[in-house]
Chain A
């Protein structure tokens, strides 16, 4: 699974950080998503998928 994050769409709601904190972070400057890893560690796939669904701006996707 490969995660894609579009910071130009991101509104910094923080749902991804709340849902999968090992995979997502937020920039201190403008709150937009920072990918800590491009592929989720084992056992985190479901959390990542949930984060994609919860993202309010549609900034996240997985391949």
Chain B
């Protein structure tokens, strides 16, 4: 068996690296050398990725992980970020379970449905401003980022006008080139901001998720910072990049754009297909075996780290035939873009609602929407742990 290291170079902006696609043709799981020399695994098959992510024999705790890209070596060596209580994404049961259960009631299908009118209002307001300003403009700044940002801020009870205090730091944390000192400083600034906000809300509570958690009294200040840190950052970076990259994908596939715009019955499934086809979580997730475990014929030893390549797993021909093609009418449900297993995205119904509202609203309000530069000139987020476009210059 050959040992590979994580290929990251994309030849086409919307396709995973060719090396990983080739590996998938050879089999679903491969030995891979991690950036620190650790001999672990790379999963390229859909059902294997699902099996690892669903298995209780793997940990998601950062201290068990080996870095997959060299730029994260220093961060891994120094144990950055330090494990914050309340940052439950990187915890195992029963700690993870305790935090997640406190929040799931706020993210149910029904709760999110109640937010839809407000999401539509925010979307319309962004479009009003875009029309008033006129093109060309950057769609990320005018549309893709403000919609999820406003929605998560209102849901959590974070004043939107404070966004400058965490949006820049959030970008620093997701940048693959960020050093350990810089990451620590950014974490410190966001945590200090949230600490101040929590103190303020303790004195003057309002009707929002953060106030509810404070009043619930189950979490101390450090845990509240950890939980709100996770929700704030995750609520921003994910949907924002899907809206930006998704619009790029539609603008460069005009027949798919027309289907999303003209047929309201397509939008729901079209969102699932964009999630599958674009899979913006492009470098992981990782899991480390807690004991020796056999996954579909491969013996993974205790302590070995497994990297799931979700963009390629979501194109596994056994699960999604002709998966290299964007087809908003294909049955795209079951993709792994929100993960799988106990860590599957808490905010996925919110993300779906935002996208189901935002894409059609954008395409219908501005039917002449087009790139203001050539597709090759759009700066892609290859340097970030969440893929997308840095900017999307458009006009109409």
Q: Which residues from chain A sit less than 8 Å from chain B, CB to CB?
A: 11-14, 17-19, 21, 25-32, 50, 53-54, 56-58
8 contacts between A and B (CB under 8 A): A11-B100, A13-B348, A14-B109, A19-B333, A25-B110, A26-B108, A28-B110, A29-B105
Question: Are A30 and B339 neighbours in the complex by a CB distance under 8 Å?
Answer: no
Question: Are B342 and A12 neighbours in the complex by a CB distance under 8 Å?
Answer: no
Question: Are A50 and B110 neighbours in the complex by a CB distance under 8 Å?
Answer: no
Question: Are B107 and A14 neighbours in the complex by a CB distance under 8 Å?
Answer: yes
Q: Indicate whether A14 sits within 8 Å of B342 (C-beta atoms), given known contacts A31-B104, A58-B54.
A: no
Question: Are B109 and A26 neighbours in the complex by a CB distance under 8 Å?
Answer: yes
Question: Are A30 and B54 neighbours in the complex by a CB distance under 8 Å?
Answer: no
Contact of A30 among B105, B333, B334 (CB under 8 A): B105
B106: chain A residues within 8 A (beta carbon): 31
B352 nearest in chain A by CB position: A18
B331 nearest in chain A by CB position: A50
Query: Please, how many angstroms separate the alpha-carbon atoms of A60 and B190 in the complex?
Result: 38
Q: Indicate whether A14 sits within 8 Å of B340 (C-beta atoms), given known contacts A30-B101, A53-B334, A54-B334.
A: no
Q: Does B349 contact A (CB under 8 A)?
A: yes
A16 nearest in chain B by CB position: B109
Question: Are B109 and A17 neighbours in the complex by a CB distance under 8 Å?
Answer: yes
Query: Please, how many angstroms separate the alpha-carbon atoms of A21 and B14 in the complex?
Result: 34
Question: Are A12 and B54 neighbours in the complex by a CB distance under 8 Å?
Answer: no
Contact of A12 among B108, B333, B338, B352 (CB under 8 A): B108
Question: Are A18 and B349 neighbours in the complex by a CB distance under 8 Å?
Answer: yes
Query: Please, how many angstroms separate the alpha-carbon atoms of A50 and B109 in the complex?
Result: 17
Question: Are A31 and B344 neighbours in the complex by a CB distance under 8 Å?
Answer: no
Contact of B344 among A13, A27, A30, A53 (CB under 8 A): A13
A28: chain B residues within 8 A (beta carbon): 105, 108, 110-111
Query: Please, how many angstroms separate the alpha-carbon atoms of A25 and B344 in the complex?
Result: 18
A13 nearest in chain B by CB position: B344
Q: Does B341 contact A (CB under 8 A)?
A: yes
A31: chain B residues within 8 A (beta carbon): 101, 103-108
B54: chain A residues within 8 A (beta carbon): 56-58
Q: Indicate whether A26 sits within 8 Å of B110 (C-beta atoms), given known contacts A11-B100, A11-B342, A11-B344.
A: yes
Question: Are A12 and B104 neighbours in the complex by a CB distance under 8 Å?
Answer: yes
A27: chain B residues within 8 A (beta carbon): 105, 108
Shortest CB-to-CB span from A5 to chain B, Å, is 15
A56 nearest in chain B by CB position: B344
B334 nearest in chain A by CB position: A54
Query: Please, how many angstroms separate the alpha-carbon atoms of A40 and B348 in the complex?
Result: 25
A31 nearest in chain B by CB position: B104
The 5 closest A-B pairs by CB, nearest first: A31-B104, A12-B104, A56-B344, A26-B108, A17-B109
B268 nearest in chain A by CB position: A18
Query: Please, how many angstroms separate the alpha-carbon atoms of A54 and B334 in the complex?
Result: 6
A8 nearest in chain B by CB position: B97
Question: Are B110 and A32 neighbours in the complex by a CB distance under 8 Å?
Answer: no
Question: Are B104 and A56 neighbours in the complex by a CB distance under 8 Å?
Answer: no
Residues 337-359 of B, flagged 1 when their CB comes within 8 A of A and 0 if not, give 01111101110110010000000
Q: Indicate whether A12 sits within 8 Å of B107 (C-beta atoms), given known contacts A30-B101, A54-B333, A54-B334.
A: yes
| Sample of 9 further A-B pairs with CB below 8 A, known A11-B342, A12-B105, A14-B108 | A12-B108, A12-B346, A17-B109, A26-B104, A28-B111, A31-B104, A54-B334, A56-B339, A57-B54
Shortest CB-to-CB span from B143 to chain A, Å, is 25
Shortest CB-to-CB span from B268 to chain A, Å, is 10
B96 nearest in chain A by CB position: A11
Shortest CB-to-CB span from B57 to chain A, Å, is 14
Question: Are B105 and A14 neighbours in the complex by a CB distance under 8 Å?
Answer: no
Query: Please, how many angstroms separate the alpha-carbon atoms of A57 and B176 in the complex?
Result: 30
Shortest CB-to-CB span from A20 to chain B, Å, is 11
Question: Are A50 and B108 neighbours in the complex by a CB distance under 8 Å?
Answer: no
Contact of B348 among A14, A29, A53, A58 (CB under 8 A): A14
Query: Please, how many angstroms separate the alpha-carbon atoms of A21 and B113 in the complex?
Result: 13
A50 nearest in chain B by CB position: B333
Query: Please, how many angstroms separate the alpha-carbon atoms of A26 and B107 in the complex?
Result: 10
Shortest CB-to-CB span from A25 to chain B, Å, is 8
Query: Please, how many angstroms separate the alpha-carbon atoms of A26 and B113 in the complex?
Result: 13
Q: Indicate whether A56 sits within 8 Å of B341 (C-beta atoms), given known contacts A11-B104, A18-B349, A50-B333.
A: yes
Contact of A14 among B53, B100, B333, B349 (CB under 8 A): B349
